[in-house]
Amino acid sequence: MASQKVPQATAERLPLYYRSLQRLVTNGKTRISSSEFGKIVQVDSTTIRKDFSYFGALGRKGYGYNTQHLMEFLRKTLYQDELSKVILIGVGHLGTALLNHNFQKNNNTRIVKAYDINPSKVGKKVGETEIHLMDDLATDDNHDITAAILTVPPDQAQSAAEQAMASGVHGFLNFSPVRLALPPEVYVRHVDMTVELQALIYFLNHAMEESRAE
């Protein structure tokens, strides 16, 4: 367990570390230094050591990290020993793609139910997930659901989140390009692909300008 509060930036890097360690263990790598690991995950070694320091002594000076031990520690820290049930709200193009994928490479997360406003979709399945009517969301019992994925139009996102909250959901992965006004005890991760693409274009162009100036 962490001995102090873990910063958000550190928590956001833990899944990257865990996924990379899974590959290393599969490939037979038994130990690794922070500098070598940093090159793999593209995070500087100082940051890696600082991130891991929040959880106590995970490595040894002169030895580095035991990849198997570190992977198992992160698996427990990230609750990968438990099945995380997720619902999806909005079965459009993006929602359909997510349902077809349904975390196939992650046996610990599963979209178990989907909702949509279109009555013609209700009762049908995308992959193995059945679609339910949006009107039923607020009155359904979703207290065993870890989080909801929102792939609805911007003008429907707030209402969809509130209905999901009424059914027992307290975590959201929001693909809609709007900020949700929800209580502080509700955790929201915003995934705005337009913003991410604009940032990427900025960094690419900025790098090109610096290169030409040299």
Assess contact for 188 and 172: CB atoms under 8 A: yes
Binding region for NAD(+)? 90-95
As annotated, the binding site includes 90-95
Give the Cα separation of 165 and 142 in Å (integer): 9
Kindly list the structural domains of the chain, giving each domain's residue range(s) and its CATH number in brackets, ordered by start: 8-77 (1.10.10.10), 84-194 (3.40.50.720)
What is the model's pLDDT at position 187?
94
d(CA 113, CA 20): 30
Tokens coding 192: 């705005």
The distance in angstroms from the start CA to the end CA of the chain is: 48
Geometric angle at alpha carbon 178, from 172 and 181, rounded to 5°: 65
pLDDT single digits (tens) 3-33: 468 898 999 899 999 999 999 999 999 999 9
What is the maximal distance between C-alpha atoms in the chain? 63
The pLDDT of residue 2 is above 60 = no
**pTM of this structure:** 0.77
User: Which of 15, 20, 22, 25 shows the shortest CA–CA distance to 78?
Assistant: 15
